[in-house]
Amino acid sequence: MQTAAPVLDNPDNRNRVEPRFDSRFDMRFDNRFARLSPVFYRRIDPTPLAAPYLVSVCEDAAALLDLDPREIRSERFLNLLAGNLVPAGAEPLAMLYAGHQFGTFVPQLGDGRAILLGEIVNQKRERWTLQLKGAGETPFSRTADGRAVLRSTIREYLCSEAMHALGIPTTRALGIAGADEPVYRETPETAAVLLRLAPSHVRFGSFEVFYARKQHEPIRQLADHVIEEQFPWCAGAPDAYENFLIEIIERTARLIAQWQAVGFCHGVMNTDNMSILGLTLDYGPFGFMEAFNPGHVCNHSDDQGRYAYENQPYIGLWNCARLAQALTPLIDAEKCNAALARYEGAFVEKHASLMRAKLGLTKVMADDASLINDLLAVLAENRADYTIFFRTLSGGDAGAVRDRMVNREAYDAWAARYTARLAAEGSFEAERQARMKSVNPKYVLRNHLAQAAIEKAEKHRDYSEIDRLLALLQHPFDEQPAFEAYAAPPPDWAKDISVSCSS
């Protein structure tokens, strides 16, 4: 074993216990972000957890790194999860960025509790960056402890994999290490570290920080890096930066269309939480819609409702405009505006396509938007459970759907139009039901399901419910009769669950 060298650019690091390096992990690192100028990051080693224990590990995510399923249950891998071992070839660092938080620009943020270990190239030549979340203080911690708590780590772990199974672009979650080390939030909680994966962790705010500082060369360097690594088809062309921006804008629009279609609320759509790749990033106070309400706010800290469900598409465009502004040293304003104008079309096209699929429709017709919007109005009036409604509709039992409505006359009027629409395109019921069940999930990560797993973990150190939920949510469209209760409406006590930015 080799002791890590001290981190010279962080004087607070002098009294820390250093993690150990381990050369026995068979992972091929190719750390291209670490080859960039140090202006983009600060080198920092993770802070080890005392006496860590394994909470859960995801074999599907481990396969992305070609890891042996036996290796991920070893003590060595546990110590990697905890930040106690750094694999040979890794170059830990904290990334710098800024961001608009609830509409207000904060000129410097950065990874305050996340440490990028490095970049792996797997056997398929895919690039994955490994990041420990909750791995201790960094130069960007801003007086915070750099730790994450078990409850929020469980929620991100489960939702990352649930979103992936739903077909929604997202960061992935490899595993959780826990420890009895106290972390103080509103009340004392226990520490945990999440190892998450993404092709890149660059954010909108990664560009904003240099625009605010009037440092234009780093903007060019970072854009060139991301284009080379993630958008190579844009490279070398005279309009490379413009096409780069268009790609990001359209990916973001399509991502949020997917959120809306599945009833997902992110909760904190700050620009520092927006992925340059159009991935769902930084799971905090998220939630899946239950009683449908377009004005639903899932984040207890969002007093003004800025990130309400119905606002998410508009906030996505607003955030893209902040990114476009940061890229004006590379792209003239007129071209930036032209790129931004593509957002609405990309969103509307994707959302309409997804909603038609949810209704079992295979053809595009003139009244589709009216049919979809009027249905959402009926669901809102009846406070219908969003997931259960569409899954029940997929089963073809018209009575079961109608029985869930309070204003049945309004629903009947819509249902008559829907029936006529199906007849107009010659829909076959059995085929339609199969298609609908393949896109309308039976299982989503409801808050009360996550809370049950959290309470078992916190009170009893029983992590079985986490693994059970993970297995369930990896197949959200399947019937899974043994887990029928997990598809039921939330119990009354679930109304009291509150999620906020605290983690």
Token pair 């139009």: residue: 417
For residue 121, give the DSSP letter: E
Q: Three-state secondary structure along 150-210?
A: HHHHHHHHHHHHHHHHCCCCECEEEEEEEEEEEEECCCEEEEEEEEEEECCCCEHHHHHHH
pLDDT band at 397 (very low <50, low <70, confident <90, very high): confident
- Supply the pLDDT for residue 455: 97
HSE value, Cβ hemisphere, 13 Å, CA-based, for 69: 3
- Specify whether the CB–CB gap between 211 and 271 falls below 8 A: no
Phi, psi of 100 (to 5 degrees): -90, 115
Q: What size, in residues, is the chain?
A: 503
In the chain, the N- to C-terminal Cα span, in Å, equals 34
Give 347-389 pLDDT, tens digit per residue. 999 999 999 999 999 999 999 999 999 999 999 999 999 999 9
Give 229-284 pLDDT, tens digit per residue. 999 999 989 999 999 999 999 999 999 999 999 999 999 999 999 999 999 999 99
> Which one of 22, 111, 272, 385 is the catalytic residue?
272
Give 400-443 pLDDT, tens digit per residue. 899 989 999 999 999 999 999 999 999 999 999 999 999 999 99
- Supply the pLDDT for residue 494: 85
Q: Is residue 454 scored above 70 in pLDDT?
A: yes
Q: Is 467 a catalytic residue?
A: no
Q: Is residue 10 scored above 80 in pLDDT?
A: no
Question: Could you give the CA distance from residue 311 to residue 102 in angstroms, rounded to a whole number?
Answer: 13
Q: What Cα–Cα distance (Å) separates residue 291 from each residue in 307, 379, 400, 477?
A: 17, 8, 17, 20
- Supply the pLDDT for residue 333: 97
Report which of 65, 78, 267 is spatially closest to residue 159, judged by C-alpha positions: 267
Q: What is the dihedral of CA 52, 57, 61, 65, to 10 degrees?
A: 50
Give 439-451 pLDDT, tens digit per residue. 999 999 999 999 9
